[in-house]
Structure 1
Amino acid sequence: MDNVDLFLTVAGVFFALYLFGYAAYLTIGGSISIWSLRKYRLRERMENELDLDFFFPISILVPAYNEEKTILTTVNNLLEMDYKLFEIVVVDDGSKDETAQLVIDHFDLKKDNRPIRLQVPSKEILEIYSGKINGKPIVLVRKNNGGNKADAINAGINVSSFPYFVSMDADEILQADALKYSTRLFLEDDKVIAVGGQIRIANGVEFEKAMPVNTRMKRNPIVSIQILEYIRAFIPSRIFHDTFNGNLNISGGFGLFKKDAVIAVGGYDPNSVGEDMDLVLRLHLHFQTNKFPYAIKYTPEAVCWTQAPFTLKDLGKQRARWHRGLIQCMWNYRVMFLNPKYKSISLLSYTYYFLYELMAPFVELLGIIVIGVAFMTDKLNVSFAIMITLLYLCFSVLQTLLLYMSKSLQREDRIYKGDLAWTIFMSFAEVLYFRPVLFFIRMYATLSYKSKLHSWSSIGREKLEEN
């Protein structure tokens, strides 16, 4: 056997194991997740309704930088929360537009000279304004620009009044019942320190009093592909990892945290590009190292609707930043890699992120090299290569369609006429077009990691639709 044959043989075995592991992980995770969604629906029918006699007081932190297009919609929808005890804290992170003034004027907020307890580091807080709408406190914090979302959230933690806080974005609609369903996990288990919710795409969705009334899929291909991608990300992976306390990330779009736990690890890291994943990894590390009992949970019942980039250019900027954040987090917490001390988090969750997220572009590049070498040496089995490609295509499309159909198991959702046909088309487009594009974005993000790690590019926004 010559060197080329040996290379192709080893590469073939590697890809067989790699793809089998990927398919097995997703199949197991998807099956468990769909079964869990069914159990949620059965439990809801048995209980008839969700009534809580006790409410955790929650501060909803909304960091905002140049969000004048969406900030009032976001706050107005937060005022529709079906929850008794919460405050809204908007943190204006040195915006250059009218974000802060819009909030102050619209809600008639007054200057507030309250003392500030600096529990986590943040840039200087300049002014605080406060007021109440229908008995619900609204606070506006003006601060020096910290250059990142982490610094703004830390400022919100310092100003906020309550022992639990929600971290979200300023271009979102938090579903009216999200707080009820996320706090339920704190009631069920006193070891819970954080709860992540399901993030869904808001583009094209119509809302009434912070509840979706029309979730028909928008016919923008870039948005549609992200809708399918989010379903795959938040249903099989998060629900499966939740079964063994193995979630490594609570999306920055919506997470509910016990404030004391976050303060204990120093708050959000302003030097981290992926501040949401960084915080969760740090919480795992802190509690496991000190052998403190804890749980970090996920529930698909608590939903937050976010704006997705609607142009390929903006999507590329977002995904490049996400991948650089992933690289940074995986490197900073490399102590968890294949370390039995961290149990299933290390052996399953961290390994999955390492192999199938961080290393994915390199594996794809290796595949291109292998095909090129096989072709140039006339050792490419074309019929076998086509068969493997078709199998991968069919698996990916069927997986996406199955998870998309699970919409029928989720509250306030259904499958609209015409959406299924569009979903089938977009499932093929996602594999054949979007994944190759994502490969180049990830490779670019990796190669430009050092030079662009802390660079920030604005992404276009549009007003959310309300009835």
Structure 2
Amino acid sequence: MIALSTSALLPFLGQLLGLVVILVGLAQSLFHLALFAIALFALAMGPPRAGKRALWSSLVEVAPPLTVLVPARDEEQTIVDSVRALLALQYPHVRVIVIDDGSRDRTLARLVEAFGLERRPFASDGPLPHAPVRAVWVSPSLDRLLVIEKENGGKADALNAGLNLVETELFCSVDADSLLEADSLLRAVRPFVEDERTVAVGGTVRVANGCAVHGGRIVSVRLPRSWLARLQSIEYLRAFVMARLALARLGALPIVSGAFGIFATAIARAAGGYATWTVGEDLELVLRMVHYAREHDLPHAVRFVPEPVCWTQVPESLRDLARQRIRWHVGALESLFAHAHMAFRPRYGGLGLLGLSSMVLFDVLTPLVELAGFVLLPVFWWTGAIWGEFVLAWLALTFVAGILVSCGALLLEELELRRYPRARDLAILAMVAVIENFGYRQLVNLWRVVGHWRFLRGARGWGRIHRRPFETVATTAASRQ
């Protein structure tokens, strides 16, 4: 056996690492550019804008009854606006169930005061386990609203308590700090009406920070004042308008956002409902439903419709954002490892071959490789162990591809949604699409690596994220007009 000297080993390791980093970066860049092309094709093949309005109107007569589940804990700042907006949705038959998951603030009290609720004993339950329910609250004048008061068990536990009481064939899960546009449910239910295989539908989630709100409605769309929230605006466009639209087109969508999604009640219950052992209950529910359907030879499809828009508040401090992203990554790892047998397997269709496989490659491995590249490649170059061309090629690939993908997502937003009426806002977003690649993207990858560490240590928990009342957001936006 020939032993490599230190002087020979260092260049070998440097060039090997450089090659791996470049290949992984190239694969990720090509994958994202392909998703952009597929999303652009999907939008081009969709019905024209004028025809869509007539299509939505025609759905009013055939839209199935639907129940909206709203898990809430310590959401006193936003809960009343959110519920009012849900009750005012343009949908023929909708019921709203709010699940107060052991709030420590005045969440329940604000609901009781705003809607004149009366306490009733809880006398029935369903097949899904959950923490004890203390009581239910009803309104004598508003039978479409039900509030469940229960002991704290977590978001998934709260959703299971609500799912047990759903009597409609479809249900929608909505975060308490989110606002739906008036016709969002009607738009999102279209795949269920047109294709009986549909078991879940996701819609676009957008950043509400900076928008003017009145009566639980977004009345004026503006960019957030916070640059951190602006950076997240581009992320959300890239994740929803581009990636999820493209993956759904390929039959490979692995997740429907917990902030806004519609599901088939029967198969969600049969699959076991929401998992309480993970902080990524939205990803886990979709994987459970697809797995159940495949194992029982049931036709199924997970869809994404870009036009139903849900507006949600995003963190405006690095501390809150770090908690959120670490939690998201831990949840993704939990579900990926629990369903590892589905990845790379044709039996599970596009979800197994592409959806989960791409998550393994680009969500699990790429953050580690990319951060290693930023740390080690300059060191190897400085010591002469690697050619400068390696470093320059990787940097060019990383930044140029990232900018192209982000600008592509902004283009898709303008082609399909056109929610930003001011050219100034679009110009700022275009600038953000460039800026995010120089520092912010690397920070998010660092949080993902922390998520790896927390997952390996078995650390769990949601962490508390500060919420602002929507009225405060409205005042801020109004003052800038």
Same structural fold, with TM-score higher than 0.5 when normalized by the shorter chain: yes
Partner residue in 2 for 1:331 = 337
Partner residue in 2 for 1:55 = 63
* Deviation at residue 49 of structure 1 after TM alignment: 5.1
Distance (Å, rounded) in 1 between the aligned partners of 2:52 and 2:85? 30
Q: TM-score, normalised by structure 1?
A: 0.93
Matched, 1:304 2:310: yes
Change (3 A) 1:223 1:247: same
Question: Which among 87, 90, 106 is matched to residue 82 of structure 1?
Answer: 90
Choose 32-41 or 254-263, whichever is displaced more: 32-41
Partner residue in 1 for 2:150 = 143
Partner residue in 2 for 1:159 = 165
User: What's the Cα RMSD here?
Assistant: 2.2
Question: Which among 413, 416, 419 is matched to residue 425 of structure 2?
Answer: 419
Distance (Å, rounded) in 1 between the aligned partners of 2:315 and 2:349? 37
Q: 1:250-399 alignment to 2 at 5 Å?
A: 250-368=256-374, 370-372=376-378, 374-375=380-381, 377-382=383-388, 385-399=391-405
Distance (Å, rounded) in 1 between the aligned partners of 2:45 and 2:234? 23
Residues 321-362 of structure 1, C-alpha deviation per residue, up to 9 Å, x if partnerless? 111111111111110122232232222111110111111222
Runs ≥4 residues deviating over 4 A = 208-211
* Deviation at residue 38 of structure 1 after TM alignment: 3.8
Distance (Å, rounded) in 1 between the aligned partners of 2:348 and 2:216? 39
Change (3 A) 1:384 1:193: closer
Distance (Å, rounded) in 2 between the aligned partners of 1:336 and 1:208? 45
Change (3 A) 1:72 1:358: same
Distance (Å, rounded) in 2 between the aligned partners of 1:36 and 1:368? 35
Is the CA contact (8 Å cut-off) linking 1:104 and 1:140 kept in structure 2? no
Choose 335-344 or 348-357, whichever is displaced more: 335-344
Question: Which among 461, 468, 471 is matched to residue 462 of structure 1?
Answer: 468
Distance (Å, rounded) in 2 between the aligned partners of 1:190 and 1:46? 20
Q: Unpaired segments of 5 or more residues in structure 2? A: none
Is the CA contact (8 Å cut-off) linking 2:256 and 2:283 kept in structure 1? yes
Q: Unpaired segments of 5 or more residues in structure 1? A: none
Q: TM-score, normalised by structure 2?
A: 0.91
Distance (Å, rounded) in 1 between the aligned partners of 2:143 and 2:405? 43
Change (3 A) 1:392 1:440: closer
* Deviation at residue 451 of structure 1 after TM alignment: 4.6
* Deviation at residue 194 of structure 1 after TM alignment: 1.1
Is the CA contact (8 Å cut-off) linking 2:211 and 2:220 kept in structure 1? yes
Partner residue in 2 for 1:445 = 451
Q: How many residues align?
A: 465
Change (3 A) 1:121 1:44: farther
Distance (Å, rounded) in 2 between the aligned partners of 1:219 and 1:46? 33
Give the secondary structure class of the aligned counterpart of 1:324: helix
Is the CA contact (8 Å cut-off) linking 1:74 and 1:172 kept in structure 2? yes
Partner residue in 2 for 1:248 = 254
Letter of the 2:443 counterpart? V
Question: Which among 132, 142, 145 is matched to residue 124 of structure 1?
Answer: 132
